Structure 1
Amino acid sequence: MEKRTSAWALSLEMTGGASGLVGAAGVPLLRLLADRSGLRGRLSKALVKPGFLPGHDRGQVLVDVAVGLALGAVSLTGTMREIEQAGAVLGTTASAVTAWRTLDNLDDAALEKIARARAAHRRLIWQRLAARPQGFPWIEVAGQLWDGWVVVDVDASLVECHSDKEGAAATYKKHLFGLHPLIATIANTGEIPVSYLRKGNAGSNTVADHLKVLTEAVEHIPPRHRKKIIFRVDGAGASKDLLAWIKATAAEHGYDWRYSVGFDVTEPVRIAIAKVPKNAWAAALTPDGELRPGAQVAEITKLLDLADGWPDGMRLLARTEPLHPRHHKQASAIEKQRGQRFQVVAHDLPGHHYPRLDAFTRNHAGVESAIKDAKNLGLRRFPFFKMAANQAWCVAVMLAAELLAWLRLLALDHHATLSKASPATLHDTLLNVPARLARRARKRLIRLPDDHPHATNLILAWTKIRALATQPP
């Protein structure tokens, strides 16, 4: 047994001399996506400074940082190390110091130019998505297709900082010290158009911050897709000012904008829920359309006398579910008596199929997965001291998320699993494939391992991305 166990090391030696190695095939793949789709060119143009000729194109450096984050790097040095490992293919690349200086020098004006470049590029990407055989990715929840609707989700998240970075402060969770970014995602595509970095003591319910993020998110949505938008926000969204802004802005431009926001469960709301007849409750559904055991939904709009200031057409959808032990301490007396937890959503969504409407509103929880993915892409820590530089780091994280989203939608749409894979799954199973650069007949070839399970998918994705420059959207 001992002889068989140690046989693998017999006649095995380690030596140098290898050349043309590529640490991860995902580096040239994502770099090509940024280049062929036009993103790198737009960023380069946005970051040009009159009279200044840098050693490395600033747009390319920003893209390389995003590519490194998409490959799983968690620091600025790590991102450039990922890029450097593909030097056999890419040639000379920027150093970590250059990348640091690039992000550190991005002021508010430069960030605004980058935002406009990203928004212009998104119009082109969405045209390509609409031109696919399967069309634009509309949201489907509980068997209902929300055709024509763009869904914007907003949520905040705490990022712990272990040092006194600019803006870091004690958060509403007393044991956490850090920053408190507010993030908007587009549920249709998985893109993160806005990540607004705030001080750690910023409130979750700050209406002004929500209005800023929603306004910027709308500017990132191509004009032809702004006509029908649904905004989903958690409990912080149930403010009169926010809902009034949604309806007033929509009316001003002739748009059809809807909302689905969390609503505070006060004592009058609990009394209204208790008044709902048993036969008025309907079984709740999961986003997959399956029955959710023990959960029920019903409308309670007519059972409440709402204060002035709420928009016309607002409806309240109540939901009850078995009271979990972790919620027992915060539960009210009536909830403990009934053994149920009460939740309410304020909305003006079309239709009256309450279980499907409830499933759609609860699908807002997908923003938490998007935030978790963003943290895995670098939002878990901030490398700079200055707030502005860390906001630039947020831009790199958003670019990484967008590159992966476009990779899934435009180059991996042929694969049922990879087209919906998380960033962690993509860089673990697909992008971090080692390769070798070979030359034959005046061509350079990136040779993938024959035994890798996704070699064929990588080659097909490469072919699709190369065709982006020659195929009109």
Structure 2
Amino acid sequence: MDSGRESLVSSAGGLLLRQTLRCCGLDKAMSAALAPWRAPRSVHDPAKVLTDLAIAVALGGDCAADVAVVRAQPELFGPVASDPTVSRLIATLAGDVDAAIAAIRRARAAARQHIWRRQRPLAGAHGGQVIIDLDATLITAHSDKEQAAPTFKYGYGFHPMLAFVDHGADGSGEALAGLLRPGSAGSNNAADHISVLDAALAQLPDHERAQVLVRTDTGGGVKDFLHHITNLGLQYSVGFYGMPPIVEALNRVPRQAWRAALDGDGAPRDGAQVAELTRYLPDTLRGWPAGMRVIARRERPHPGAQLRLTDDNGWRITCFATNTRGWSIPDLEVRHRQRARAEDRIRNLKDTGLTNLPFHGFDQNQIWLEITLLAADLLVWTQVLAFHGQPARLWEPKRLRLRLLAVAGRIITSGRRRFLRLPRGWPWSDLIETGWTALQPT
């Protein structure tokens, strides 16, 4: 084994991430946003430090010390700050955490607008509905951290709420916003839902905010949140609790009102039916937004399935509320079930630095959450720009790292120009070259 070859680099595919960062103007936007936190004689721009951290996380890192992977390859990523400098910057930003987070989010929003202008990631190149999924998840704290608390699943840690934009069946999704909360935070907190939704809407380009559908599970089915969505003129599709008025309405629904439910591919699903309950709801159900519709799905539990208290006459009942008009009941129900894609987005985000929160301080961990969101953005934006219409557009972070980002290479200097040579036998070298070409300035 010989470790003395200076021209060899690992994670050569990370060059795609760096080029995406430049292509969308994130480096300049972040530098301008974080200018107030740059000391007069500082060597490293705070924006460069944060984007280096984001690249390290996108490559598979899960703590601030993993920026060493980027620092070890200055030929690819330029000069990188030392660990003490990174630590001091995180502490400095945490000292004014609200202003720092607002600055980071402004830079991300500016870069996202550039990305969407160059290649809209949703179906339809010139507009169409944008779907925002809100969901909360649990992060375990393996040591004592500020504001870590017992969770409803008898764990200990944090309960952040996250917002994603769904790219549909032909794409993945972008992490728009996140709110770090103690583990004891409730799932149906209307104020938290409103805060995250407003932050998510601010991430969208201005012209994309008019046609937005907000999807959540039953945690979002609270009056104040639905009134907020209605006042914004947006649509919603949220889970609805099986409260006693729902049971009363189910008993009033005639048999002929039930229709066959559909699978994701549009085929009828055996043993599953849907019906609208709105006209059968009792008068005691008050205070909800005007125009709200309640739709129920019933399905026979599979053999061996554990029954629930909300099951009715042997049927498993799930309900959701929506204000969408003009769709068939089965199609509305399929659209709501596609909210499960948010679970994939959360899993991918946990594969991109959110499995653990590395700092003791709560404010420092809020900054870390923003870094993981930035890392997730870099991965998805690289796929959107470099691999549009190709299978790699749908790859999850683990596969993207294994096949494209983790490849080794050799830097060759010729004619005062530098070239990165990839292994001749690497199965995805052509795909990397195609992506690099697509990321060049237009």
Structure 2 equivalent of residue 410 of structure 1: 385
Q: Aligned match of 2:288 in 310, 315, 318?
A: 310
Structure 1 equivalent of residue 320 of structure 2: 345
1:438 is paired with a residue of what secondary structure? strand
Alignment partners' CA distance in 2, 1:310 and 1:235: 15
Structure 2 equivalent of residue 296 of structure 1: 273
Q: Aligned match of 2:46 in 58, 68, 81?
A: 58
Deviation of the 1:277 alpha carbon = 3.4
Alignment partners' CA distance in 2, 1:277 and 1:436: 71
1:342 is paired with a residue of what secondary structure? strand
User: What CA deviation, in whole Å up to 9, does each residue of 1:10-44 have, x standing for no partner?
Assistant: xxxx3444221111112222112112321011111
Specify whether residues 441 and 291 from structure 1 end up closer, same or farther in structure 2 by C-alpha distance, changes over 3 A only: farther
Counting only pairs closer than 5 Å after superposition, residues 33-432 of structure 1 correspond to structure 2 as 33-49=20-36, 51-78=39-66, 80-106=67-93, 107-130=97-120, 136-138=121-123, 148-174=128-154, 176-188=155-167, 190-250=173-233, 257-306=234-283, 307-324=285-302, 328-332=306-310, 335=312, 337-338=313-314, 340-415=315-390, 417-432=391-406
Alignment partners' CA distance in 2, 1:325 and 1:166: 45
Give unpaired runs (5+ residues) of structure 1. 1-13, 131-135, 140-144, 251-256
Alignment partners' CA distance in 2, 1:162 and 1:320: 40
How many positions carry a matched residue from both structures? 433
Alignment partners' CA distance in 1, 2:198 and 2:76: 41
Contact 1:265-1:344 at 8 Å conserved across structures:
yes
Alignment partners' CA distance in 1, 2:322 and 2:133: 14
Alignment partners' CA distance in 2, 1:124 and 1:373: 24
Contact 1:24-1:85 at 8 Å conserved across structures:
no
2:99 is paired with a residue of what secondary structure? helix
Deviation of the 1:192 alpha carbon = 1.0
Deviation of the 1:96 alpha carbon = 2.6
Deviation of the 1:455 alpha carbon = 0.6
- Divergent runs of 4+, >4 A: 324-327
Contact 1:21-1:86 at 8 Å conserved across structures:
no
Give unpaired runs (5+ residues) of structure 2. none
Deviation of the 1:146 alpha carbon = 12
Partner amino acid for 2:194? L
Contact 1:177-1:200 at 8 Å conserved across structures:
yes
Alignment partners' CA distance in 1, 2:401 and 2:247: 47
Deviation of the 1:195 alpha carbon = 0.8
Deviation of the 1:51 alpha carbon = 4.9
- Over the matched positions of the two proteins, sequence identity in percent amounts to 37
Provide the aligned C-alpha RMSD in A: 2.0
Structure 2 equivalent of residue 9 of structure 1: none
1:72 is paired with a residue of what secondary structure? coil
Q: Which has the larger radius of gyration?
A: 1
Specify whether residues 447 and 327 from structure 1 end up closer, same or farther in structure 2 by C-alpha distance, changes over 3 A only: same
Alignment partners' CA distance in 1, 2:308 and 2:334: 24
TM-score where L is the length of structure 1: 0.87
Structure 2 equivalent of residue 22 of structure 1: 9
